[in-house]
Structure 1
Amino acid sequence: MNFIGLDLAWSVRNATGGAVAQLDGPGGRVTDTSLLGDDAEILAFIDRFADPACTVAIDAPLRVPNASGSRVAERELARVFGRFHAGAHPANRALVGDASGSVRGERLVAALEERGFVHDPLLVAGDAVRRVVEVFPHPAMVSLFGLTRTLKYKNKGQGRDALVSAWAALHAHLRALDGADPPLSGLDALLETDVTVLRGRALKAHEDQVDAVVCAYVALYAWRWGPARTEVFGTLEGGAILTPTLPERWPTGLTAP
């Protein structure tokens, strides 16, 4: 079983990060990280790695019914994760739609549904199905890594030293997933990247692939724990974001199988 993560660019003009975590014993092993282009290239990547049971976790709005403002999902998530600086940008059709009004995430969901995937964020622990879900790395990292604030590895305006320090912290947290539940291995090559020499497009490419790995791990984590340690903000009809949630919000009496 594979867990595919996509850091989906809202526009086809920008690169999309892709990552695959293959189920390996009690956890997962990263077997691929890639930079992808247009929708056809993204779908070819998914077709290459999608098993009969597979979760695709996408960092991008997958359902956007509202013409303006924000979705309920963003507002609900901000109430829980805003104190960690982990709120989501507002999503509406004016912001994420292309010139024709089409939303890229919605197009990909439609194409995946033709391939037998179900768009539904309510994952059941251990369920062997084809599922596509919307995720968001920042609140996931807060929950998974026990952060008091999001890591500012995307903030280019904070100064080079602070940026490199944020990347070092993120790399360290990702290495520690090897001992998490579920564990994640196979990150050595990606995390050996020397961020101190990366700038511009090269740094953005590394960022896209790292975010895709986080998306893939969120899918693996949700498969491991289901609603015992994950939470869905919003609704399927109005747009829903799945994330590992804070320990203080774990439902009592629920355990993973």
Structure 2
Amino acid sequence: MQYIGLDLAWSSKNPTGAAVLSGDRTGAVLTETRLLGSDDEVLDFVAAQAPAGPCLIAVDAPLAVPNLTAQRPGELALARVFGGYQAGAHPANREHLTRYNGGQIRGEVLVERLARLGFVHDPAQVQQDEPRAVVEVYPHPAMVALFGLTRTLKYKRKRQELARMHEDWATYHTHLARLDRAEPPLSGLEPLLAHDPAALKGRQLKNHEDQVDAVMCAYIALYAHRFPERCELFGTLDAGYILTPTLKERWRVKVS
């Protein structure tokens, strides 16, 4: 089965990172990374990689935003657990997000169009043996939970010292490289991680960031499929939510 990660840009004017893992809940290999543009490009990519059969798509972007202003209840709930790790989410509301995509929220448009390809928008689907579903995820709390971080990595911060940014990039790469020994394991990252972020600037660095974050999204999908009881849903499908691996003390006991 396929696990697809999308670091979806809020506007189609900016690149969207995409990554594909092939395998099953016991482990997978990275088979593709790409930079995509328009909604049509994103849908064509998904259709080519997973024309039928089981597939989980994990998207780092709001997929359901019913609130006009303020933030979704799920973001508040996430902040109560992960705020101390600096891993809270940006507030998502219609007033803000519709400015980027011609009056529409891009994640909601994506969900509607994916439905025509047979994808169900429902985080509960990660518990199914052969899901064909799309879910909203957020890499920062996932990295805290999966990598045992005490704070989020500041590889994206725009106004920090370069040395700190490069240090956090190196840490990010190190943790990703170790996923081949994780549970579930992910292999095939060597070509992507061969790039040295310290040698990249401007758009090249941003392109690398988008693709690496897409890989992280895809791994969240794989992990949630393998360990749904180790993941947490902050919010609800109707009011908006974020699905993420959670802290060990918050794992649920698996019912056999």
TM-score, normalised via structure 1 length: 0.96
Give the 3-state SS of the residue equivalent to 1:89 in structure 2. Answer: coil
1:27 maps onto 2:27 in alignment? yes
Unaligned residue ranges in structure 1 (runs of 5+)? none
Give the 3-state SS of the residue equivalent to 1:176 in structure 2. Answer: helix
* Pairwise CA distance, 1:25: 8.0
* Pairwise CA distance, 1:24: 5.7
Instruction: Indicate how the Cα distance of structure 1 residues 38 and 229 shifts in structure 2: closer, same or farther if over 3 A, else same.
Output: same
Give the 3-state SS of the residue equivalent to 2:159 in structure 1. Answer: helix
* Pairwise CA distance, 1:79: 0.5
Identity fraction in percent: 57
Cα distance in 2 for partners of 1:146, 1:178 equals 16
Equivalent residue for 2:81? 80
Residue 41 of structure 2 aligns with an amino acid whose one-letter code is E
Unaligned residue ranges in structure 2 (runs of 5+)? none
Instruction: Indicate how the Cα distance of structure 1 residues 219 and 103 shifts in structure 2: closer, same or farther if over 3 A, else same.
Output: same
* Pairwise CA distance, 1:157: 1.3
Cα distance in 2 for partners of 1:81, 1:66 equals 22
1:15-164 equivalences under 5 Å are 15-23=15-23, 26-50=26-50, 51-98=52-99, 100-125=102-127, 127-164=129-166
Runs of 4+ deviating beyond 3 Å: 123-126
CA contact (8 A) 1:126 1:224 kept: no
Instruction: Indicate how the Cα distance of structure 1 residues 5 and 144 shifts in structure 2: closer, same or farther if over 3 A, else same.
Output: same
Q: 1:78-137 deviations in whole A, cap 9, x for unaligned?
A: 000000000000000111114642110000000011111110012444520210000000
CA contact (8 A) 1:2 1:23 kept: yes
1:166-205 equivalences under 5 Å are 166-205=168-207
CA contact (8 A) 2:56 2:126 kept: no
Root-mean-square deviation (Å) = 1.3
Instruction: Indicate how the Cα distance of structure 1 residues 124 and 197 shifts in structure 2: closer, same or farther if over 3 A, else same.
Output: closer
Q: 1:179-214 deviations in whole A, cap 9, x for unaligned?
A: 100000010000010111111111000000010000
Residue 15 of structure 1 aligns with an amino acid whose one-letter code is P
Instruction: Indicate how the Cα distance of structure 1 residues 176 and 111 shifts in structure 2: closer, same or farther if over 3 A, else same.
Output: same
Instruction: Provide the aligned length of Structure 1 versus Structure 2.
Output: 254
